[in-house]
Structure 1
Amino acid sequence: MAHSNNSLVTGKLRGSLGKELVFREWEGKTVVAKAPKSREGDPTPAQAETQEKFLLASRYARAIIRSPDKGMAEAYAAVLRPRQNVYSRALEDFLSPPVVKSINTRNYKGAAGDKIAVRAIDDFRVISVRVEIYAANGTLLEAGNAVQSTNGLDWTYTATQVNNPLAGSKIIAIATDVPENEGSLEVTL
């Protein structure tokens, strides 16, 4: 992709030149690129799935921009990277689910009141972490929301039920971000 600072040759060109080149302005510079080509045939199932995901992401980003409550748009604006706008930041957030990095069970011995620490990250913000504890036989013992620590990365869940025997128990942490994407991690004790 070529760049120009509005030279004599490119001037203030905009649009396409035949079916070969496209001119547009980006950050005060004229940018020249190859013209996109039309796709032949129907999309594969994977391409159709990607197109559907991108369509939903686009609708989400437009809703953020058009919302009368500008709080989310301002929050996205506060974390823009170079050459990014609120629309593209919201689109990126929709397409990037949160990741549960770890579940720390060091302080969980199967007693009520024991703590489970979860570390969850997102490219923008994790809004909640749900913890589910299953007994060794697969029965759901308890589930609830963890409380966010002051560092913004870690979440703490306090057990409310007794879990004996502890061996073979399963703990699942499910993180949710602003566009309600979910990411999870499972550990077996």
Structure 2
Amino acid sequence: MAHSNNSVITGKLKGTLGKELVFREWQGKTVVAKAPKGRKGEATAAQAETQEKFLIASRYARAVINRADKSMAEAYAAALKPRQNVYSRALEDCMSPPIVKSITTRNYKGTVGDKIVIRAIDDFRVVSVRVEISAADGTLLETGNAEPDENGMDFTYLATQANNLLAGSKITAIATDVPKNEGILQVSL
């Protein structure tokens, strides 16, 4: 990709030249790139799924920019990566669900007040982590939100119900990011 800074040859060119080159402006410079080619044939199932995700992410990014309340756009602006704008940052966040990396249960013995620590990350921000504790037979014993720790990655949940039969119990952590994507991890005791 070539770059130009308002040269005599390229001037302030914008658009396509002969279906081969594309001129556009980026950060005050004229950028020249190879023109994209159209797709031949129908999209595969995986391509159609990606297109649907991109469409949803694009609508989300436009909504962030067009909102009357600019606090979310300002938050994305504060987290820009190089050569990124608020639209592309919001789009990237919407296409990247959070990941629950681990559920630490060593301090959970089935009594009220026992700690469960969940590590959840996202490319922008994890908004909440919900914890569900189920008995071995699948009966939901309790559910609630974990509180964020100061390190910004861990969330702590304090058990509210006694669980006398730990063997076979399942703990599920569901992390949610700003665009409401979810990341899930489940462990068995």
The offset of 1:82, in angstroms, is 1.3
Q: Does 1:125 align with 2:121?
A: no
- Aligned positions of 1:1-189 closer than 5 A: 1-189=1-189
The offset of 1:110, in angstroms, is 0.7
**TM-score of the superposition, structure 2-length normalised?**
0.96
CA–CA separation in structure 2 for the residues paired with 1:26 and 1:69:
27
Hey, which bits of structure 1, 4+ residues long, moved more than 3 A? none
The offset of 1:14, in angstroms, is 1.5
CA–CA separation in structure 1 for the residues paired with 2:28 and 2:62:
25
- Aligned AA (1:7): S
**TM-score of the superposition, structure 1-length normalised?**
0.96
The offset of 1:7, in angstroms, is 2.3
CA–CA separation in structure 1 for the residues paired with 2:171 and 2:32:
53
- Aligned AA (2:54): F
Deviation string 1:57-107 (CA, Å, 9 cap, x unpaired) is 010001010000011011111111111111111001100000111111011
CA–CA separation in structure 1 for the residues paired with 2:68 and 2:28:
30
The offset of 1:44, in angstroms, is 1.1
- Aligned AA (2:41): G
CA–CA separation in structure 2 for the residues paired with 1:122 and 1:78:
16
Identity %, equivalent residues: 77
CA–CA separation in structure 2 for the residues paired with 1:70 and 1:7:
37
Unmatched runs of 5 consecutive residues or more in structure 2: none
The offset of 1:4, in angstroms, is 2.0
CA–CA separation in structure 1 for the residues paired with 2:92 and 2:132:
29
The offset of 1:41, in angstroms, is 1.7
The offset of 1:160, in angstroms, is 1.2
- Aligned AA (2:127): I
Unmatched runs of 5 consecutive residues or more in structure 1: none
SS in 2 for 1:131: strand
CA–CA separation in structure 1 for the residues paired with 2:41 and 2:112:
59
RMSD of aligned residue pairs (Cα, Å): 1.0
- Aligned AA (2:73): A
CA–CA separation in structure 2 for the residues paired with 1:48 and 1:118:
34
CA–CA separation in structure 1 for the residues paired with 2:143 and 2:170:
12
Deviation string 1:105-127 (CA, Å, 9 cap, x unpaired) is 01100111111011111111111
